[in-house]
Structure formats: structure tokens, C-alpha cells
Chain A
Amino acid sequence: MASPNPLQRTTPIVHLPLLILAALFLGPMIWLFATSLQPREQVGKVPPELLPRQYYVTEGAEHVYVTPPQPLGTAKLLVVPGGGPNAGQQLLVDPAQFKDGKLTQRVRVADREEARTFDAQLIRPVAADSVLVKEWLLSKYAKKKARVFYVAPTEVKSEVKPVWGNYPEAIKALTSGEKDKGRPLSELLGLSVYPWTPKGEQGRTITFLTYLSNTLLVAVLGVTGTVFSSALVAYGLSRIQWKGREALFNITLSTMMVPFPVLMIPLYSVFRALGWIGTLMPLWVPAFFGGAFNIFLLRQFFMTIPNELSEAARIDGCSEIAIFFRVILPLARPALSVVALFHFLFVWNDFLGPLIFLTRPETFTMGLGLQQYQSQNGGSEHHLLMGASALLVLPIIVLFFFAQKTFIQGISTTGMGGR
């Protein structure tokens, strides 16, 4: 052909829309991680900033990180009163309150306020253009008292500095019912991993790590159950010729159309009759009985394995179970890993199931714990909220980079399963 095949040419014009779309898709993820590393005050800022930035003042050689500067507005005086509620402390007062070495201050007496006068020592006047900065503390519940500085605005500088401490803070914040204690992370480790005890033990703290271990427990048990049982059933539906096989398969297909909301209320009653409500069992036990989608996926795969292999094994005198374990399963590893991966993802992302079936905070999974935190605090500490969300997302991203091929292959085959 004289003219070059237009299909072989990669038009450069494709790159522009792709780049724009990539920026749009990547944007929210970047914002998630950026915000999770910002100090508390920067998150609510209007207009929002991307890079985490912290203010600091220099004291000698070191940087003391501080809150964003607040202008004082008018000139004030820094005094140390000899008596009253602020005795011995530095206090910022209006010049009108201080005369001839005496400070007039409004003081609480019982439940009223009265003006009292105390001796006071003048430290220095504070210029009107000064700003107030407080020592920046990671946790709003920290016991340490924040030092206050009154300095000229030029002394307050800012630098780009990510706040990695937000992550442990987020972990502590997700702790239910123990928010007022500044416990070190090490003390919180190594607690509750047996969520199906009838009542919590004394002194146990429910933390993010509890949620994590619950989720992992459900995931591991669920993956084991579904891989094994779905493979078993798929084998029965594909490698053995028996009457009623097609009928059962068609029933299986049709169950994929039943929406979970129809089942969830009676299931709740079933689980309550079994005594499983309040434990994690409703979330992983059903996986041991197979799932329609996984059965379908594995059956399609098993049908691609040549019959000769099974026949040869049968002639050798192998029982069906032996053929299943020794011949079919090893060949099915790619499909089994897809099933395992998908179920793991499902458990990690599951929200409605835990919401309905879990009642005690020590059994909550991560998604549920995160949602409870968000709904109880009205989305208060956005930087912690983003930090906690990032913690929920990071393992999935890591998993993706390790198992990319399985992911892509798996998704493609499910879609092509429609053919």
C-alpha cells in the first residue's frame, strides 16, 4: 500500500487528552496523601494548599514549630502579675489595664467575674504589628503546655515539612472511647485479636489495630473458605457428568441477580438464631459454602482444561477427589489467585455487611471503624480523616503493584465472561 496504515501510527494528539484525564484521575489521590501530611491548621485553609507547610521561629539554633501567626492588632504589654489566677506567668494585657506597676484584671469569683488589682512587673511592650504564635503540638490532647511567643511577623518563617505524625495520631484517633488519653502507640499494640469472645476483657482498648486485625481475620478466613469451596463446587459442575448439573449451574447464575438488601434482614434473623450476631462469623462463615460469582469464574476456567487429563487419571484408578487435588487444582493456580484476590478486595471494601451484622466496637472492621469515626466527629480533624483513609487505601495500592497482572487478568476475564 502506498499510504501508511493509519492503524500503525500512534497519533501524538492522543497524549493531550490522556494527560488531562490522567491528571483528573490522579488528582484526588494526590490530594488525599497531601492533606494527610498537613498540620491541622493548614487543612481548613481557604484557599487550600497542596504542599504541607509548617511555620517556625528560631530559638537559638533550633526551629520551634508554631501555629500560623495571628496578628495582635493593637499594641499590648507583656507583664507578670504578682497575684491572681495568672500569678508568676507571662500575661498579655491591654495598656489601659496596667498603671503604676499595678494590673487590673477581671477575675472569676464563684460564678461571677469581678475586677481585681494586683502588683505586676512589666517585661516589655509588644508592638501593634506583632503576631501571636503558639508552640505547635501534634496532638490536641497533649499534656505539654504550649509556649506562646509574641514576635515581629518577619521572625515567623515557613518551610515545607510533611507531618508524618498524623498517621499515628489517626490511628490513636480511631480508638473508640479512649480519646482523652495520650497513650503511646507501643502501649496500644498487642491487644484484642479474638473478636468472638462473648464479652470484652477488662482494660482492653479498641484501636485501629483491632479493626485491622478483624479485617485481616475475616479476609484470611474468607479467602481460604471461598477458594476451597468454590473450587470444589466448580469442579462438580464442570469435571463430572451428572444429571441435574446444568440445572444447578443455571440456578447458580440466576442467584447473581439477587441483591443483598433482600437477604440482609432475614439473614440477620438467621444469624441471631445461631447466636452469631456480635461476632465476626456472619462475615466469613458463608464464604465456606461457595459464592455464585467465584463458582462461575472457576467453572469457566476448569472447562478449558482438557478432558484427557482427567480420563488418564481415572484410568489410573484415581478417585475424583484425588483428581481434584492432584490434577486440577495445581493447573488452576492463576484462576484461584484471581478468586483469592477478588475476595480479599471484597472483604477489605465491604461496608454494608459489617454495618448490619457487627454490633460491638471490638469487632468492627476498618471500613466500619472509619465511618463511625467520621460520623461521630462530623469530619472534624480532616487531616486525621485523610490520614486514616490513606491507611485504608495504601495496602490496596501496594497489593496492586505486586499483583498487577493478576488484577488485570482477573478483571478482563470477568468482563469477557459475558461473551
Chain B
Amino acid sequence: MVAYGWGFVFGGKLIDGDKVTTASPENIQAYRWMASYSKKLGVDAVQRFRSGFGSFASAQNPFLSGQLAMEIQGVWMYNFIKKFADGMPWGAAPFPAPAAHPELRGAANAEADALVIPTGSAHPEEAWAFIKYTQQQEVMEQLCLGQRKHSPLKRVSEEFYAKHPNPYIRLFAELGASPNAWSAPKTGVWNEYGRELTTAADKIGNLTLTPEEALGSVQERIQISYDRDRAIFMRRAR
């Protein structure tokens, strides 16, 4: 699971309109929950356990080799299980919501690969024709079957599900359509925001800083960057 994702599970947002909301109560609760494991098990033990993990795309993947009982992963995990740990019994389920907030059920990271036509392309018409082609239902389903993913389109044929090798594919499709599905904020400062959050999650997990301190300083810093970025954007748009 990416470092910036935990807040969404608890109903927190990273940017809300004008405001950068890293240190919102939901996000703080989320990271406090994350830090509770370091407190319970000891930072040293957690670090050592984690440092023994093999690399992701290998038989030493911590989940595939049995070091981890469960992990937050996506629809691609089926491919890795098939390749490195074929025959391993496994299952998939949506991440639970906090007991007090059942309405947050179905929080999942929904991202997509995007086809873009950059400014100044040599052949925008042809590119657009290609994009239109890929968005047709039969073509998209063919592509998703090949990649073992679920389809991003609203209409999906039953045949697609019947042919699909991943036994939990319907679950992923449902989560993709869930009202609580979230994605990384689309802003010019996301690179910086992501880096800061990764560092903050590190510090919180290592118990170097409390969630309030870590998230608070990220919010302060990114609010400045975010305002600056939007001011520049506005100025240029004029």
C-alpha cells in the first residue's frame, strides 16, 4: 500500500478544494493507527522484519514466500502469484472500514493508465482515432483480458468475467466503482506532496514524530507549494 493511502481508508482527504488537508482528524487517526503497530511490536523489530523482505517481483516476495499473511495489493497480484507461487491458496477481500463508520466501506485506490495527446504532437488526429479505438468495449475487454485487469468501462460483458482467469475479478470491478474509491490528487505539486508523505509515513512508523507533528509540517509545507503553484497557473492563464 502506498504511504499516502491510509488516510483515505479512514475517510480523510489529502486536498479539499483550496485547502491542503494532510493533518485532518481522519488522516491523523489513520496514521496513529499505523504507528500503533510500531508501538506494539517495537520499531527495531518492525525495521528488521521489513528489511528481510525480498523484492516484489520474485519468489521472495514477502506475501508469496509466506512472510506476510496479508497485504494490500491490486488486481495485478494475480499475475505475480501465478508466476512465482503458482498453486498457493489465496483470496481477496476489500479492506475493512472503521467499526464506527460503516459508510466508509469500499475505500480502494483506483488509478488508471491514461492515454494522452501532448501539446505539439505531430499527429493528433491519428492519436485521437487510436484512443477512440481503445475505448470500444470489445477492444478494451480484449486488452484487459490480456493484462488480467478489470475493465474501466461502465459496460462489461458477462463473457469477459467468464473468460477472466482471476477468480476475484468481480470484486475489483466493484471496488473500482465504489463511491469511496479514491485516487491521488491531480495537482502540479503532487510529486513533492508524495515525497513528503512518504517521508512523513517513515517518520511516523519509526516513532520519530507523532502523526500530528509529521502531518502538520507536511500540510504547512505543501499548502505553500500548492498556493504558489495555483498562483502561477492563474497568472499564466491570463
Contacts and interface: CB of A to CB of B under 8 A. Distances in A.
Interface of A: 40-41, 44, 46, 108, 110-113, 140, 377-382
Given A46-B52, A111-B161, A140-B83, A380 B170 contact: no
24 contacts: A40-B59, A41-B59, A44-B54, A44-B58, A44-B60, A108-B167, A110-B161, A110-B162, A111-B161, A111-B162, A111-B164, A112-B167, A113-B167, A378-B55, A378-B56, A378-B57, A379-B55, A380-B55, A380-B56, A380-B57, A380-B58, A381-B55, A381-B57, A381-B58
A1 B161 CA distance: 98
Contacts of B60: 44
Interface of B: 52, 54-60, 83, 161-162, 164, 167-170
Contacts of A382: 55
B58 A111 contact: no
B56 A111 contact: no
B169 A377 contact: no
A378 B56 CA distance: 7
The 6 closest A-B pairs by CB, nearest first: A380-B57, A44-B60, A380-B55, A110-B162, A380-B58, A378-B55
For chain A, what secondary structure do more than half of its interface residues adopt (helix, strand, loop), or is it mixed? loop
A41 B170 CA distance: 34
For chain B, what secondary structure do more than half of its interface residues adopt (helix, strand, loop), or is it mixed? loop
A111 B161 CA distance: 6
Contacts of A44: 54, 58-60
Contacts of A377: 55, 57
Nearest to A46: B52
A97 B3 CA distance: 44
Nearest to B162: A110
Contacts of A41: 59
A140 B170 CA distance: 29
Contacts of B164: 111
Given A111-B170, A378-B57, 17 more contacts: A40-B58, A44-B54, A44-B60, A46-B52, A110-B161, A110-B162, A111-B162, A111-B167, A111-B168, A112-B167, A140-B83, A377-B55, A377-B57, A378-B55, A380-B55, A381-B58, A382-B55
B63 to A, nearest CB: 14
A113 B170 CA distance: 13
A274 to B, nearest CB: 18
A182 to B, nearest CB: 14
A46 B65 CA distance: 13
A180 to B, nearest CB: 11
Contacts of A379: 55
A374 B109 CA distance: 26
Q: Which of A112, A380, A381 is packed against the most chain B CB atoms within 10 Å?
A: A380
A377 B57 CA distance: 7
A24 B114 CA distance: 49
Contact of B169 (A46, A111, A113, A380): A111
A108 B163 CA distance: 11
Nearest to B55: A380
B35 to A, nearest CB: 25
